A and B are shown apart, each in its own frame.
Chain A
Amino acid sequence: MAPSANRRSGYSRRAQYGMFFGYIAGILGALVGAGLLIVSIVNPGAFSALRGAAADAASPGGEAVAEGRAAGRSFYEVVRGYILAGSHNARLERELAVAKTKLAEAQAIAEENRRLKALLDLAQEEPKPVAVTQLVASTGSSTRRLATISAGRKRGVAVGMPVRSPLGLVGRVLEVGGLTSRVLLVTDTESVVPVRRAADGIPAFAQGRGDGRLQLRLINLGHNPLKVGDVFVTSGSGGLYRPNTALAVVTGVTRDGAVARVLSDPAATEFVTVEPAWTPPAEAQALAPPQSRKP
């Protein structure tokens, strides 16, 4: 490519000064950026109001695109469904037969649970969702895993509320704007969720790896009892996340824990529910350590 002519300022004083001040402004821009970066490293919430306003401004576009994204995905699924219909159908019928039995058993257990709780005089607490909303955007190009939902302060969303889909936990609210909120997904490396194995309650911490999977760290070290296929649910310890929300299934065992796949993949999630932040019963709260952002 030919060198551009407008580099050469020649004898024009005006052009010379223009170029000179352009460079000064460029260097100043870099310095301003470095300064803002230091501020946001020291205080991560410093610009949350600004980001909230920006996300609100972009939310109509995000919602329109979200509709298109859902349509595109369902089109792809229809095509794929035609190709895989036969084998899928056979497998689903087998699974349905097993699931029907399991469902009957689960109903019996739920009934028994209700009866026992009534005996113990415990209130049946069903969380009333704060908002049912849509995931409109996510940080696709950054190593941070943050998503935007189209519900904010006006619909009662507050910082710290857990966000879930029908399939399991998605994340928790990090910043709240007027019409939108930012959600820290469970796969972000800053997110730590206290969990336990669904089968027998072995406690662990689930930390995001930044690549769509979770690292499970056992609290009691020693013999590693985890196996591929184990399902982990939130334990509710420390509050914030309601107990028994499905989170992840183990895909690989490591020396001191396991690598797990998130059950509710945000990429396949369209609608999410914002739940009120859970507070454990009083005596448990006094014992549990405060659960907050990792330093």
Chain B
Amino acid sequence: MKAFRLPPTLAGLFRRRSINRAPSPLLARSVPWISVMLASLLPAWLFIASTPYVPPFGFLALVAWRQLRPGLMPVWAGLPLGFFDDLYSGQPMGSAIMLWSVTMIVLDVIEARFPWRSFALEWLIATALILIYILVCLGTANLAGAAAPIGVLMPQALVSVLLYPIAGRIVAALDRFRLIPIMDIGE
């Protein structure tokens, strides 16, 4: 394997010269993790919101990656990624660590139970997970001192469920990006 070399021009990247090329292992491994972390930061940066209407993008990205590429992220990925989300989300520390870890396990169980899944079933599973996640997040925030009523969650729940397929498409585009063959192999 020769040294890492980018194509001379950006156009070269899109010409898809795939013979004698392999995806960069660094890119292929890091993109899922980095994209989930950026998605965790996104709700904080996107709007200064006076109501919680921004979807939990980090959670959407995690579920989307897990559904697109089962086994790409280990079952324990909820621990580090949830920790990062907790630092920025405003939820009490530990809320996302616990819920994301449980989500990864639940998705694994669902995968074993329904090996063949359609788009509708995946969206249904994601919808259930998102709604439960948002509800439990309200519960943990209220335990830690807040007293928000449940009605506050309606817009966020609706937007999150409707945005999930789009989050899935973005994750799919990132998946293609991470597997672009850019490394020169062989003679």
Name the B residues within 8 Å of A141 (CB-CB).
43, 52, 54-57, 89-90, 156
Q: Which residue of B lies closest to A186 (CB)?
A: B50
Name the B residues within 8 Å of A136 (CB-CB).
45
Name the B residues within 8 Å of A267 (CB-CB).
47-50
Compute how far the CA of A143 lies from the CA of B115 in the bound complex, rounded to whole angstroms. Answer: 35
Query: Which B residues between 138 and 162 are near A, CB-CB below 8 angstroms?
Result: 138, 140-149, 151-153, 156
Interface centre among A29, A62, A185, A269 (most CB of B within 10 A): A29
Give the contacting residue for A25; candidates B43, B51, B79, B99; CB below 8 A. B79
Compute how far the CA of A164 lies from the CA of B14 in the bound complex, rounded to whole angstroms. Answer: 50
Compute how far the CA of A160 lies from the CA of B49 in the bound complex, rounded to whole angstroms. Answer: 22
Check if B44 sits within 8 Å of A138, measured CB to CB: yes
Check if B82 sits within 8 Å of A33, measured CB to CB: yes
Interface centre among A7, A210, A265, A293 (most CB of B within 10 A): A210
Check if A44 sits within 8 Å of B88, measured CB to CB: no
Q: Is the interface of B mostly helix, strand, loop or mixed?
A: helix
Check if B101 sits within 8 Å of A140, measured CB to CB: no
Name the B residues within 8 Å of A137 (CB-CB).
44-45, 48, 88
Compute how far the CA of A187 lies from the CA of B148 in the bound complex, rounded to whole angstroms. Answer: 10
Give the contacting residue for A142; candidates B52, B71, B74, B102; CB below 8 A. B52
Check if A28 sits within 8 Å of B144, measured CB to CB: no
Compute how far the CA of A35 lies from the CA of B78 in the bound complex, rounded to whole angstroms. Answer: 15
With A1-B117, A34-B98, A141-B56 in contact, do A40 and B152 touch (Cβ < 8 Å)? no
A89 within 8 A of B: no
Compute how far the CA of A35 lies from the CA of B79 in the bound complex, rounded to whole angstroms. Answer: 12
Name the A residues within 8 Å of B91 (CB-CB).
139, 142, 144
Name the B residues within 8 Å of A4 (CB-CB).
69-71, 111
Compute how far the CA of A266 lies from the CA of B47 in the bound complex, rounded to whole angstroms. Answer: 10
With A141-B156, A188-B146 in contact, do A29 and B97 touch (Cβ < 8 Å)? yes
Known: A7-B112, A26-B101, A209-B149. 4 other contacts (CB 8 A): A26-B105, A36-B86, A140-B49, A189-B148
- Which B residues are closer than 8 A to A by beta carbons? 41, 43-57, 69-71, 74-76, 78-79, 82, 86-102, 104-105, 108, 111-112, 115-118, 122, 137-138, 140-149, 151-153, 156
Complex A-B: 10 CB contacts under 8 Å: A1-B122, A30-B97, A33-B101, A37-B95, A65-B46, A138-B47, A140-B46, A145-B50, A210-B146, A211-B51
